[in-house]
Structure 1
Amino acid sequence: MTSQGIVEQFLSLKSETDADILTMQCGDFYEFFADDAERVADELGLTVSQKSAHGSSYPMAGVPVDDLTPYLKALVERGYRVAVADQFEDESGDHYREVTRIVTPGTLVETDDADARYIAAVVKGGGAGDGVGLAFADATTGQFLVTVADDADDALAELYRFGPVEILPGPDARSDDAFTRRLREETDAAVSLFEADAFAPGRATHALKEQFGGETLDSVGLGDESAIRAAGAVLRYVEETGAGVLPSMTRLRAFETTEHLELDATTQRNLELTETMQGERGGTLLETIDHTVTSPGGRLLREWVTRPRRDRGELTRRLDCVEALAAAALARERVRETLDGGYDLERLAARATSGRADAADLLAVRRTLAILPDVADAIEGSPLADSPLAGVVGRPDRETARRVREELDAALADDPPKTVRQGGLFRRGYDDELDGLLTRHEEAQEWIDTLADREKRAHGLSHVTVDRNKTDGHYIQVGKSVADQVPEHYREIKTLKNSKRFVTDELEEREREILRIEEARGDLEYELFCDLRERVAAHAELLQDVGRALAEVDALASLAAHAAGNDWTRPELTEAGPLQIEAGRHPVVEQTTEFVPNDLRMGGGATAGDPNRAGGRAADAREFLIVTGPNMSGKSTYMRQVALITLLAQIGSFVPARSATVGVVDGIYTRVGALDELAQGRSTFMVEMQELSNILHSATEDSLVVLDEVGRGTATYDGISIAWAATEYLHNEVRAKTLFATHYHELTSLAEHLDRVENVHVSVDDAGDDVTFLRTIEEGPTDRSYGVHVAELAGVPDPVVSRADDVLARLRADEAIEARGGGSGGATQAVFDLSSGQFVDSASGATDTSAEAEATDGGASVGGVDPGSTGSATDPEAEAVATELDALDLNETSPIELMKRVQEWQERLDGE
């Protein structure tokens, strides 16, 4: 076909696809033309040439057929959808091209990425209160999961947990602009607008029954229409993009969101489960505990970390496995060494079903199937035999696995070629017809290999060799000195400097015979290989079973190895109940620094006679801890380690503690700091309040809540009021186990009035001029934040630190005067009645709700600045300061602005 015809075909195919880029096979190359060529050249550094068509010149760039995969991956990772048009030959011998697949982030089967690559479909219910249907399919492994979330927030939390690479919003979801915006903002996935018809209930139901069988929907309990629509759309999308992996999707599993802990996106980021606040994997919980030796094991461990379980029976089974592996070091290491040679069977199954597996892939299947009995032997012949691990490796059909492995072993050569269309894939004895071709090929090749010696003897020639090249084919080469002695049936084909080359009719016939045999062998081997690959693909479900069993052993062994190497202990799991940790540590921080362990007692275990407890309360009433202490002293680390220890227990892991009793929780909710999201029109305080709102709406009495400051992003009274009210609501209404770190020391008085609230603080040694943060949690409150000392540690200039110390001393002095009932000229002072939560006149006891009554920030009170403190009650400057102070609206004044005003007043008074 002419170049003009090729370009015409390309432009025609491109107009028929909605892909961003088209690549078209032209012989041994995949070519990009026109704008696509320039785009790909810019993205991937390809060389652009020119092809003429229609009297115009078109840019062209290409890659060899065998090298397409890495370019596809690179383009898809950059967000492009790439259509692939393959070349075919019709009966007349003419070439034509057809788009065979569209490669998208979710249908890229050729990946070495260890993480799952889920496509997710999202379908919102039609009526108010209807749930959100979610379907998750990993085209690379065959995993297929569906569920129904209660609302949009729960759906987005589930999407964050799965981390899909591509999302298909249904028509009802994409018409909701706010929801679509959140999909794009709160996930890293590509959002693809697939045809609306695929989400139709009838079509979706048909697709599911066709894929999984007519009884599947009832057997898995999938009765929600939104979930059915989501699942059906995913199947249609995978089918229409031509990924070819539908046969690997052998099981549909419906799950309840209540099977797993609620972990919203904010909590996962705050706890740095899989990536740090800076978006890095290093320094995360997963990176710390991941010692897996296979990519499927690492993928499963990541799933456990992001989707902890609530089923105490399943968690106990995992803990039994980890305990056995941790105790049997030699057996554990033998298991890990055996697993280390395994490949990713789930992905190999998908490659086989899609027709993309090559001989090396099938060899990897063979080698990994051989690992299963070896791992089983390592378990059964060791102290691990009595653990649930034996049941893990006993799940797959080991007899069928043995037969598949033996068939592959009998079929495939030990070192087959990279391409499946070249001979050399199979062992001798696998196929009689192939053996006959191999014998004929060997005989023909032997005739050629011995030809030189025969010619020397027959014609008395010396310096005779027989060789071949691409230009001349097979030839007889004779030295020039004896070239005139060659027999008459030799035909000269080339003269060289010191020799001549000849051919004979018989040699040419042998050459043609070899080529015919090689072509027949290649065709037969390709046919045999495709048949073998199809038989392996027919066992996709078995391969997935084996792969998942080996991955589970790997993940459990990883947890055991970390536990044994870091002195972790098995937690005691109970149904919703106490949370008690002795000498707990942060699992990540302890890897990089000498760590000070701390205890925690919530929901039981506190001694009734503790001097810091409110009088006479029951020992199990301790479920809300107000944590006070300096910045940088370890409050946040302490609270995070409690959350992470709870989470680790609920993935079935040992925990960093001397002992731990963990009541299974239904969710972990955190609010730790906040960043401005100005692009979305949300300030720091707005983000903070939205996170607090989510917690107050979502947490239950079986949840764990971690609050690191609430109300700090607004004016002082506003902040205290919000923190106070949130504490009461969490205590009285939600009743969740809560750790609340705050610099609003006024809140510590709540322990006297709310029966489940207790105070703890981070201890400080401030003897003399030195301040040392001991990082030890002790009972009771503290009333100092040591902020000036932290500023000094941070390198704030000495004059600023010195001035801050001076201002702080004056503020404390004023506070002391007020506490003694002092003031100027008998002025009435307002104080905060902590029992009522209101301001009252200190003289009369009358309620005073005015904002001017008192301002508090981090334990320092400002109010009742004595204008007579300069020594003159009638000093005009002091009266002016008093007047300004009286007029100040503290509800509208931020802590920073308040400090500036105080400093200004002090300077004016000092001047007098």
Structure 2
Amino acid sequence: MYGKERSTTNDTDQTTDVGFLDFFNSLPKKSPETGTLRLFNRTSGGDSFYCAYGPDAVFVAQHVFHTKSVIKYLGAGARRLESVTLKVSVAQMLLREALTSKQLRVEIYESENGHGKKGTTFRLDKEASPGNLQAVEDLLFVNSDILSAPVVMAIQLANVPVSATGVKSSHKAIGVAFADTSVRELGVADFIDNDIFSNTESLIIQLSVKEAILPTGTSAGTTERDIDLNKMKGVLERCGVVITERKPSEFRSKNIADDLPRLLQSQSPVSTADASATISQLSLPTAPAALSALVQYLSLLTDDSNLGSYKLRTHDLSQYMKLDASALRALNLTENSGTVGLGAKNTTLLGLLNKCKTSQGTRLLGTWIKQPLVNLHGIRKRQNLVEIFTNESTTRRILQARIKLYLQRLGKRFKRGNASLEDVVRIYQVVLKLPGMITSLEAVQMVSQDYQAAIDEAYLSSLKEHDSHLKKYSEMVEATLDLDELDNHNYVIKPDYDERLQQLAEKLKRVRDGLDSEHTVVGDDLNIELDKKLHLENNQVYGYCFRLTKTDAKGLSKKFIELGTNKSGVYFTTKTLKNLAEEYKDLTQTYARTQNGLVKEVVNIAATYAPVLETLDNVVAHLDVILSFAHVSVSAPIPYIKPTLLDKGIGFLSCGQYLAEYFEGSGNLVLREARHPCLEVQDEINFIPNDIEMVKDRSEFQIITGPNMGGKSTYIRHVGVIALMAQIGCFVPCEEAQLPVFDSVLCRVGAGDSQLKGVSTFMAEMLETATILRSASKDSLIIIDELGRGTSTYDGFGLAWAISEHIATKIHAFCLFATHFHELTALDQQLSHVKNLHVVAHVTQNGSNIRDRDITLLYKVEPGISDQSFGIHVAELANFPENVVKLAKCKADELEDFTGEKKLDGDISQATITNGIVIMEEILHEWSAQMDGGDVVMSESELSTDSQLHNLQKLTKSYQTSIEENSWLQSILTLL
């Protein structure tokens, strides 16, 4: 990522200081591999830089410089220690990447006994983690904003009390406390969860949690609580969350009633005696204990700037669509943990929709994508606002140009007490933009009476109120600051604001006039043109002095005082200039000291407006996201349309008569000419739209079959993406769209290994499927792709059938199930609300041989079952050797269509043959993937049949179990 950077040369890289080696070796063993990156801040010759040692140096060399040639060494022999030096700017970029992208903890050490070669002993100065950036926030985000909220969560587990019947419940009581220190917000949630913690997983996704705090278990690790904690760790790891363990004693709510009121913003002080009654969150059964641990972990009470500055809210899990970690990946909603939160342009939904002009808008968009609404009224309010700005394109462009208001970063500086006059001016410049925004929004209101209420409720009334509050701020700035000096990037108090400043300013003006006068006198004396040859400069070393080139300085007489010579020329002064320069320096210092007190006063007054700026920031972020939705909707290759969302209604089993036994449904899903929003904007892709219709009791469970590369996965996934877009209030890529409000979107897509975590392909598949079965309701959307492929064919098909039947008969959720188990399509014979779909392919016969044909994938989905397998065609596209393809075609000619009941080759059944073809396709695909670039390019010596078949034989060993269970495959492999 920093390929052109090179390690700077500093004396630390050559030192063999035994003292530092002893110190470094005495530190606890940590490394990036175990989750912690260490850097050492050093100074040499007045320049600050950072060093990494040991495994950290190797990590930096690989990930920053992309070469090990930058590594140098301290010491020699067995004690030799790797070392890499980084410039401050490069170290800051590395730390940002480590904390926000690579999910590492960071430790920064400062020298205790000197710098450069002398620094041998260091102290830990700063610690930070993905969820706690407080210590490094000012270091890493001085000129940029945090685009992804650094949320840290503490989790407390408790068992639900035994029921009156004496039957122990398997449900768990979960208390959660979370914090975003970048915006000074605390939150709590209390809920009941199942034994696989699916609700907790949804909460983690909704809040974009980066780090979780858990209590440690017992040393034996065998109690029920230990088992629950291990399950919770599995959920957190699946979501890419860093885990921090703390003592169980920290998870006690004893002191939180005393501590919390000190942190919270309050119009009137809350005594600790009535805190529990006044702060409703303290009455929750489990969350206060988690909140206590969180406050201790973040050390919030040790920083006085935190007191009275935090907000507290309760997060209601049921107010938002639930997403699991698999859905986040399968639908490409945001980038995984390898990003800072922006989302890759057009390859993720966040990247596609993010046309926001402010950092707070980008953050809010990321939150909305992970928290789709389930309240129909809230969804329609957003949709109506998007509709207004899609129609009013001129106003949309004007507002997008004016909305670049960076309030979040400025507000934090005032809260931390490190704001400057420049920050005061920047907020002043923001306030000046408000009247223009108000005028633009009022113009929108005039277009249609239907717009008035929506615009006024969402933006106008709030912006007008903020503008009124901030007028006094503008008046204060105009009265105290010298705005004429802004063009020179000088942020100073007006001289006439204070009598003392006025007097000093007059004296400074007199001295400056004297300097100019002396400049003229010397020019006339030397007969040298001013400015072009004789320069009056304020030098860092000499102060105010004259400069001439070496050629022009040859005629200087002894009455001039020569100060020094360098490449720029000769520096000299006069007695008059020297006296004036000293006077100017003294006056400037006096002016600065006098102004500093006034600056603090002005900054403190400006800081009182921080709460107003916070609420204004929220309004601006909301407007920014709505404008972004409108911009994307009208800029798409085919403009998006406003979807119709249906409230939850009543659906009856399709029996032609009213039944007492019914289930509540949530309407039908109908999408006409639906497109995948990310794929249709990719270069050189002409997306083929499809119609989707899912009707309760008629086609709520749909099985999609067809060839690889035919578009099955895209088809089922883009339904989930469109459903989510509709529920965040955005328009959708369809010609017509009617959708129910889903309470969750749950996915099982792909077979991802988690072997480093001790989880096999099949176990990962089953864990995700278990989450679906335990979490889904009748109002859910379930997306399943290739279930059961991580185990033997027979076991996989059995599981796929059982899971499909359970979803279709017990859950009654809308489900899209893509599969190569063609036998699964027989489920529609047993259940009337199961519908079979297939991906269409056009086949052209070229000869008498049935396998001699051209196949064109049309990417259209139509009713029915895929009656042919095209795995051999896919192998041809992958440039498989011709003789291998011919062998496959030869054996395939012996087979009938999978629906046939006839047995071939004696005792080999049609089902066995079908399963064998599926396994063979997997082997051929894996073989292709092992070739360079996915294409098989062979030399002349490698074109022999024996050589090719030898390679296949080596690969089939990994499929030995499946092959031994399939007699047809065994007969095929005897030919190899």
Residue 350 (structure 1) aligns with: 412
- Asked if the contact 2:674/2:689 (under 8 Å) is kept, the reply is yes
2:47 and 2:304 mapped to 1: Cα distance?
A: 22
- Asked if the contact 2:211/2:241 (under 8 Å) is kept, the reply is yes
1:371 to 2:433 alignment: yes
Kindly tell me: are residues 120 and 172 of structure 1, through their superposed partners in 2, closer, same or farther at Cα, counting changes over 3 Å?
A: farther
Structure number with larger C-alpha Rg = 1
1:579 to 2:645 alignment: no
Residue 169 (structure 1) aligns with: 214
Kindly tell me: are residues 452 and 686 of structure 1, through their superposed partners in 2, closer, same or farther at Cα, counting changes over 3 Å?
A: closer
Find the residue that maps to 1:761 and give its secondary structure. strand
- Asked if the contact 2:180/2:186 (under 8 Å) is kept, the reply is yes
Q: Which amino acid aligns with 2:502?
A: D
Q: Which amino acid aligns with 2:912?
A: A
Write out per-residue CA displacement over residues 592-637 of structure 1, whole angstroms, 9 at most, x where no aligned residue.
Answer: 3222222222235xxxxxxxxxxxxxxx432111112222211111
Write out per-residue CA displacement over residues 538-574 of structure 1, whole angstroms, 9 at most, x where no aligned residue.
Answer: 3222212111211111111111111122321111111
Q: Which amino acid aligns with 2:156?
A: K
Residue 270 (structure 1) aligns with: 330
Number of residue pairs the alignment of both structures matches: 805
Residue 775 (structure 1) aligns with: 859
Find the residue that maps to 1:758 and give its secondary structure. strand
Residue 599 (structure 1) aligns with: 691
Residue 517 (structure 2) aligns with: 450
Quote how far apart the aligned CAs of 1:519 are: 1.6
Quote how far apart the aligned CAs of 1:727 are: 1.3
Residue 3 (structure 1) aligns with: none
- Asked if the contact 1:581/1:599 (under 8 Å) is kept, the reply is yes
Q: Which amino acid aligns with 1:127?
A: N
1:337 to 2:401 alignment: yes
Kindly tell me: are residues 36 and 401 of structure 1, through their superposed partners in 2, closer, same or farther at Cα, counting changes over 3 Å?
A: farther
Write out per-residue CA displacement over residues 336-382 of structure 1, whole angstroms, 9 at most, x where no aligned residue.
Answer: 1222xx23312321122113334443333222333333222211112
Find the residue that maps to 1:201 and give its secondary structure. coil
Q: Which amino acid aligns with 1:572?
A: T
Q: Of residues 133, 144, 152 in structure 1, which corresponds to 2:175?
A: 133
Residue 200 (structure 2) aligns with: 155
Find the residue that maps to 1:363 and give its secondary structure. helix
Quote how far apart the aligned CAs of 1:904 are: 5.1
- Please say which of residues 644-653 and 519-528 is displaced more in the overlay: 519-528
Q: Which amino acid aligns with 1:264?
A: D
Residue 879 (structure 2) aligns with: 795
Q: Which amino acid aligns with 1:328?
A: E
Kindly tell me: are residues 893 and 49 of structure 1, through their superposed partners in 2, closer, same or farther at Cα, counting changes over 3 Å?
A: closer
1:337 and 1:780 mapped to 2: Cα distance?
A: 51
1:891 and 1:21 mapped to 2: Cα distance?
A: 49
Residue 551 (structure 1) aligns with: 621
1:24 and 1:861 mapped to 2: Cα distance?
A: 61
2:366 and 2:43 mapped to 1: Cα distance?
A: 38
Residue 455 (structure 2) aligns with: 389
Residue 743 (structure 1) aligns with: 820
- Asked if the contact 1:122/1:132 (under 8 Å) is kept, the reply is no
Q: Which amino acid aligns with 2:641?
A: T
Residue 78 (structure 2) aligns with: none
- Please say which of residues 116-125 and 805-814 is displaced more in the overlay: 805-814
Kindly tell me: are residues 36 and 203 of structure 1, through their superposed partners in 2, closer, same or farther at Cα, counting changes over 3 Å?
A: farther
2:302 and 2:111 mapped to 1: Cα distance?
A: 12
Quote how far apart the aligned CAs of 1:229 are: 3.3
Matches within 5 A, 1:466-485: 469-473=539-543, 483=557
Quote how far apart the aligned CAs of 1:699 are: 0.6
Residue 534 (structure 1) aligns with: 604
Residue 326 (structure 1) aligns with: 390
Kindly tell me: are residues 536 and 775 of structure 1, through their superposed partners in 2, closer, same or farther at Cα, counting changes over 3 Å?
A: same
Residue 608 (structure 1) aligns with: none
Q: Which amino acid aligns with 2:406?
A: D
1:309 to 2:376 alignment: no
Residue 178 (structure 1) aligns with: 230
Kindly tell me: are residues 632 and 445 of structure 1, through their superposed partners in 2, closer, same or farther at Cα, counting changes over 3 Å?
A: same
Q: TM-score, normalization: structure 1?
A: 0.76
Q: Which amino acid aligns with 1:310?
A: V
1:631 and 1:49 mapped to 2: Cα distance?
A: 53
Q: Of residues 589, 592, 598 in structure 1, which corresponds to 2:679?
A: 589
1:521 to 2:600 alignment: no
1:291 and 1:813 mapped to 2: Cα distance?
A: 51
Q: Of residues 868, 871, 876 in structure 2, which corresponds to 1:784?
A: 868
Q: Of residues 745, 755, 766 in structure 2, which corresponds to 1:678?
A: 755
Residue 168 (structure 2) aligns with: none
- Asked if the contact 2:321/2:372 (under 8 Å) is kept, the reply is yes
- Asked if the contact 2:793/2:962 (under 8 Å) is kept, the reply is yes
2:417 and 2:678 mapped to 1: Cα distance?
A: 43
1:791 and 1:178 mapped to 2: Cα distance?
A: 43
Matches within 5 A, 1:648-727: 648-727=725-804
1:211 to 2:268 alignment: no
Kindly tell me: are residues 100 and 155 of structure 1, through their superposed partners in 2, closer, same or farther at Cα, counting changes over 3 Å?
A: same
Quote how far apart the aligned CAs of 1:269 are: 0.4
Q: Which amino acid aligns with 1:857?
A: T
Q: Of residues 184, 193, 199 in structure 2, which corresponds to 1:142?
A: 184
Q: TM-score, normalization: structure 2?
A: 0.71
Kindly tell me: are residues 628 and 28 of structure 1, through their superposed partners in 2, closer, same or farther at Cα, counting changes over 3 Å?
A: same
1:855 to 2:912 alignment: yes
Find the residue that maps to 1:630 and give its secondary structure. coil
2:410 and 2:728 mapped to 1: Cα distance?
A: 27
Find the residue that maps to 1:252 and give its secondary structure. strand
Quote how far apart the aligned CAs of 1:893 are: 4.1
- Asked if the contact 2:320/2:371 (under 8 Å) is kept, the reply is yes
Find the residue that maps to 2:970 and give its secondary structure. helix
- Asked if the contact 1:86/1:100 (under 8 Å) is kept, the reply is no
Quote how far apart the aligned CAs of 1:724 are: 1.3
Find the residue that maps to 1:668 and give its secondary structure. strand
- Asked if the contact 2:240/2:337 (under 8 Å) is kept, the reply is no
Residue 640 (structure 2) aligns with: 568
Quote how far apart the aligned CAs of 1:155 are: 2.4
Find the residue that maps to 1:720 and give its secondary structure. helix
- Asked if the contact 2:902/2:910 (under 8 Å) is kept, the reply is no
Segments of 5+ residues of structure 2 without an aligned counterpart are 1-18, 29-35, 75-82, 113-121, 161-170, 648-665, 846-852, 920-958
- Asked if the contact 1:581/1:660 (under 8 Å) is kept, the reply is yes
Kindly tell me: are residues 716 and 38 of structure 1, through their superposed partners in 2, closer, same or farther at Cα, counting changes over 3 Å?
A: closer
2:911 and 2:565 mapped to 1: Cα distance?
A: 109
RMSD of aligned Cα (Å)? 4.9
Quote how far apart the aligned CAs of 1:115 are: 1.8
Q: Which amino acid aligns with 1:433?
A: R
Q: Which amino acid aligns with 2:645?
A: L
1:400 and 1:896 mapped to 2: Cα distance?
A: 77
Q: Which amino acid aligns with 1:600?
A: I
Kindly tell me: are residues 371 and 196 of structure 1, through their superposed partners in 2, closer, same or farther at Cα, counting changes over 3 Å?
A: farther
1:496 and 1:305 mapped to 2: Cα distance?
A: 61
1:621 and 1:495 mapped to 2: Cα distance?
A: 93
Find the residue that maps to 1:770 and give its secondary structure. strand
2:402 and 2:431 mapped to 1: Cα distance?
A: 12
Write out per-residue CA displacement over residues 188-231 of structure 1, whole angstroms, 9 at most, x where no aligned residue.
Answer: 45444567665431233333221125469855655335422333
1:361 to 2:423 alignment: yes
1:857 and 1:74 mapped to 2: Cα distance?
A: 49
Q: Which amino acid aligns with 1:763?
A: V
- Asked if the contact 2:708/2:870 (under 8 Å) is kept, the reply is yes
Residue 969 (structure 2) aligns with: 900
Kindly tell me: are residues 60 and 654 of structure 1, through their superposed partners in 2, closer, same or farther at Cα, counting changes over 3 Å?
A: closer
